[in-house]
Amino acid sequence: MNNSENILVHKKTLIILSIILGIIFLVMRLPGVGLPYHQDEFKSAVSLAGGSVTAGNFFSHPPLTALFLGLGNSFLGNANLRFLPIIFSILICFLFFDVVKNRYGAKPALWGLFLLVIGFYSVWASLMIDTDGAIIPFFLLLSVNLYDRWKNVVGWIKYVIFSLFIASLVLGFLVKLSFVIVLGMFLVDFFLERQKTLTKKDVFYTSLSIVGFVIFAGLVFGVVSLWRPEFSFGQMISHALLYFHFGGRDYTQVIVQGVKSVFYLSPVLLIPLLFISKELFEKTRIFFIYVFLGLIFYFVLFDFSRGALDKYMMFLIVPLSVIVGLIISKIFDNQTLLKGYRIVSSFIIGFFIVLLLFILNFINHIVPPLYPKEEWFGRVIHLEWNILNPFNGGSGPVGFYISFIFIVVSFLISLILGIVGCVKRNWLPEVAIILIMIGFMYNAVFAEELFFGKINGSTAKVLNEAVSFIYESNDIKKILTYNDIGAYELSRVGKYAGRFYAAPQFEDGHRKKFTEYVRNNGGYFLVVDIPHINPESFYGKFFSRCPSVFNVKDSKIEATIYDCE
């Protein structure tokens, strides 16, 4: 086969693989476009529906947050806002492939893109009505793309690309202030690359670029303030400083949210890091810098223990997909280890492991309450792992359950495989194949439970039935909903009265709130019981005294309407 034929085959292979990945992308995302808006997503949707797209409506973030969501509302409609992050995610896929292909080659780009497409964290990021999941990663990859092009061109075009690079950084900063992590990533990478040849000229121009960035960003903020006077620069800074303190942090919550992020990432994006070599570490240094700076930012510099920390950890998706994609590609590049019978045997072993893990979802599970957290930790410590773990967050997703024993055993088997791969390096292809099979099944189970809940129940299903009952009931004028589940749907039928959380720290305030609510609004409550409410808590005892006027259950998830008048 001559060189031109090789190129043609290579192009056809890329096209076929791209089509396959595109189909997987859509299959693992489109079923989620109709999911209920949850908590912060609901606030955004309501603000947009009212025609208000000020920064204040979006937690005092920089103005592009409101602009992007406002444009999404205008062109897609208030009920279809999840298509906005999907559009950005499609653009991310193209940028991701281009960046990784230019840096490391087509095979690592395809492997990395595969991991990006199948990962549940990435799936949810593609659907979340916020900036952390899709918009910030878009500007990250756009900046890296321009940075790489700037380093590889000469002449006048170099200044044009550098100007576009600075503009992309400013635009990312105008979406969210945490984009400063990306700026830090480029600075650290630049100085590490030039550490042996660094000149005063380099320092001068770098300092000049930073000053130019600050001035440019300041001018943009000023123009926005003149264009939209409701945007408050001071309010934005004050909001950011609320999280900048080192005392009074809820470290238990930090641990819980951190572990939850690990579960979202899945074994396939973490265990292969054990196989990284010094050469691959050097090649992917800029992405490791991004991960390191991000972890310092979110876990050390700022206190997000009372925020949606699991949402912010979405910054890990892109760099880990790049790094692990390169690791897997290098493993399969070793032709001496790729023998037919070994590949077939690894698929057979992987099939039985995946089947065993999948079956774990169907053993009898207990649904412990979220509080007290000591009960949950106690069960984990005493190896009582047949419990369902709730997953929900400030910007979604709406709650769903996953078997804890399924999660832990998936990670344990993957870790054992990782150790085997480290000890027996000639077994790495087999180990990698089995890890990929586990990762694909693991992420598919998460996505299925979010979208359909065929194993442990669907929040969306019971919520829709409850909202239909509330809409048709003449007795229910207003209703208070647990964990803000169904807020958007209840608002659309004009019966949303507010929310409550069954957390111990809110108990005193809720005693008063419930009393006033029952007195003024008739006392109807909607409880979609995920996370499960402790029956021995104030909330559990309160609802045990109230008759239910509606109840529907789907496996482990139950929706009840209480009349507490």
Q: How many residues does the chain have?
A: 565
Residues 557 and 470 in one domain: yes
pLDDT of residue 203: 76
Is 109 within 8 Å of 100 (Cβ atoms)? yes
pLDDT digits (tens, 9 = 90+) for 177-204: 889 999 999 989 988 887 777 777 777 7
In the DSSP assignment, the letter for residue 30 is G
Residues 482 and 382 in one domain: no
Residues 463 and 536 in one domain: yes
Residues 378 and 444 in one domain: yes
Task: Give the gyration radius of the chain's Cα atoms.
Answer: 25
Residues 390 and 467 in one domain: no
Quote the CA–CA distance of 447 and 32 in Å, as a whole number: 9
Is 357 within 8 Å of 409 (Cβ atoms)? yes
Is 43 within 8 Å of 61 (Cβ atoms)? no
pLDDT at 5 over 80: no
Residues 554 and 463 in one domain: yes
Confidence at 453, pLDDT banded by 50, 70, 90: very high
Q: Beta strand pairing status for 479-482 and 496-500?
A: parallel
pLDDT digits (tens, 9 = 90+) for 209-257: 778 777 877 777 777 767 666 666 667 777 677 777 777 777 878 888 8
DSSP symbols for 163-232: HHHHHHHHHHHHH-GGGHHHHHHHHHHHHHHTTTT--HHHHHHHHHHHHHHHHHHHHHHHHHHHH-TT--
Using DSSP, state whether 559 is helix, strand or coil: strand
Task: Decide if 338 is inside a domain.
Answer: no
List the strands of the sheet with 524-528, edge to edge: 496-500, 479-482, 524-528, 557-563, 548-554
Task: Decide if 466 is inside a domain.
Answer: yes
Residues 369 and 463 in one domain: no
Which residue range(s) make up the domain with 481?
A: 459-563
Number of domains in the chain: 2
Quote the CA–CA distance of 122 and 351 in Å, as a whole number: 24
Across residues 395-417, what is the average pLDDT? Answer: 94
Mean pLDDT computed over every residue of the chain:
86
Using DSSP, state whether 383 is helix, strand or coil: coil
Residues 559 and 489 in one domain: yes
Of 160, 171, 187, nearest to 131 (Cα)?
Answer: 171
pLDDT of residue 60: 64
pLDDT of residue 73: 79
Please say which residue of 418, 451, 484 terminates a domain: 451
Helices (H), 454-506: 459-472, 487-492
Task: Decide if 180 is inside a domain.
Answer: no
Q: Which residues contact 228 (CB under 8 A, 6 or more apart)?
A: 54, 63
pLDDT digits (tens, 9 = 90+) for 265-313: 999 999 999 999 999 999 999 999 999 999 999 998 887 877 778 889 9
Quote the CA–CA distance of 266 and 544 in Å, as a whole number: 38
Task: Decide if 105 is inside a domain.
Answer: no
Confidence at 6, pLDDT banded by 50, 70, 90: low
pLDDT at 1 over 70: no
Quote the CA–CA distance of 514 and 178 in Å, as a whole number: 38
Q: Which amino acid is at 166?
A: I
Using DSSP, state whether 553 is helix, strand or coil: strand
Task: Decide if 112 is inside a domain.
Answer: no
Residues 430 and 470 in one domain: no
Residues 391 and 447 in one domain: yes
Residues 464 and 400 in one domain: no
Confidence at 11, pLDDT banded by 50, 70, 90: confident
Quote the CA–CA distance of 518 and 564 in Å, as a whole number: 7
Confidence at 114, pLDDT banded by 50, 70, 90: very high
In the DSSP assignment, the letter for residue 50 is T
DSSP symbols for 257-309: HHHHHHHHH-GGGTGGGGG--HHHHHHTHHHHHHHHHHHHIIIIIS--TTS-H
Please say which residue of 427, 451, 475 terminates a domain: 451
In the DSSP assignment, the letter for residue 398 is P
pLDDT digits (tens, 9 = 90+) for 461-496: 999 999 999 999 998 999 999 998 998 999 888 899
pLDDT of residue 252: 79
Q: Which amino acid is at 480?
A: L
DSSP symbols for 114-180: HHHHH-HHHHHHTT-SSSTTTHHHHHHHHHHHHHHHHHT--SHHHHHHHHHHHHHHHHHHHH-GGGH
Residues 433 and 466 in one domain: no
Kindly list the distances between the CA atom of residue 437 and the CA atoms of 115, 358, 516, in Å, as whole numbers in the listed order.
12, 12, 54
Task: Decide if 447 is inside a domain.
Answer: yes
Task: Decide if 470 is inside a domain.
Answer: yes
Kindly list the distances between the CA atom of residue 59 and the CA atoms of 124, 295, 462, in Å, as whole numbers in the listed order.
21, 22, 30
Confidence at 413, pLDDT banded by 50, 70, 90: very high
Please say which residue of 434, 451, 468 terminates a domain: 451
pLDDT digits (tens, 9 = 90+) for 96-107: 999 999 999 989
pLDDT at 261 over 80: yes
Task: Decide if 206 is inside a domain.
Answer: no
